[in-house]
Amino acid sequence: MNQQEKDTRQLIIDTAKDLINETGNIEEITVRQIAKRAEVGIGLINYHFKSKDNLLSEAVGDVMSEMICKFTKEDSNSMISPVVKLKALLKELYSFAGRNEKLIHFILNREVVGGDFKTALYLISFLKEIFGENEDEMKLRIIALQILLPIQVTGLNEESFLMYSGIDLSNVEQRERFIDALINNLMKEKG
């Protein structure tokens, strides 16, 4: 892919991100809107992404990646422990999910049902801070899945999780206790 194609591809992703931020409802976004706003043909979107869902998935991934990177940079000079930083990140991501419910259901369905494990990779840098050189890359990836999959599955059906656990994820205090318990249980296993 040459530089012009890369630039066009990024322009399309950035346009999709802008529409996601403006509408907040992923179901309302059309390929035609994206093409018009980006001033490209619909065929070019299909060429680069094959489908609207693939494009929107990349755009959402970019949004979440930017959020994680920003969070990481803001706390990089902090004296806060890596475990506390990881909990804070997960709590912030949950808050983002609460503000963008349809968007998150879209991405969760793609990740959980489609078997996309990219999001878990964003946790690796936090886990390296926590575990240092004591764990190899494979084990860190498994731990990242142990953290992320319960969050993803509970996010897909909060009502069922409430019936199962008694935890109401729409209640900030209960949601944060859930995240704390999840991380604390995993950190006990590290020892």
Q: Domain coordinates of the chain in residue numbers? A: 1-58, 78-191
At 11 the pLDDT is 93
Q: How far apart are CA 157 and CA 94, in angstroms?
A: 14
Per-residue pLDDT band for 167 (boundaries 50, 70, 90) equals: very high
In the block, residue with structure tokens 């349809």: 102
Query: Exposure string (b/e) for 12-25, b if CB count within 10 Å is 16 or more?
Result: bbebbbebbeeeee
Q: Which residue spans within 134-187 are E strands per DSSP?
A: none
CATH of 1-58, one of 2.30.30, 2.60.260, 3.30.43, 1.10.10: 1.10.10
Evaluate if residue 76 carries a pLDDT over 70. Answer: no
For residues 78 and 7, which has the higher predicted lDDT (pLDDT)? 7
pLDDT at 26: 78
Quick check: helix, strand or coil at residue 120? helix
Q: What is the pTM of this model?
A: 0.75
Residues 6+ apart with CB under 8 A from 63: 17, 20, 21
3-state secondary structure of 29: coil
Dihedral angle over CA of 176, 27, 69, 158, nearest 10 = 20
Confidence label for 190 from pLDDT (cuts 50, 70 and 90): low
> What is the average pLDDT across 14-25?
84
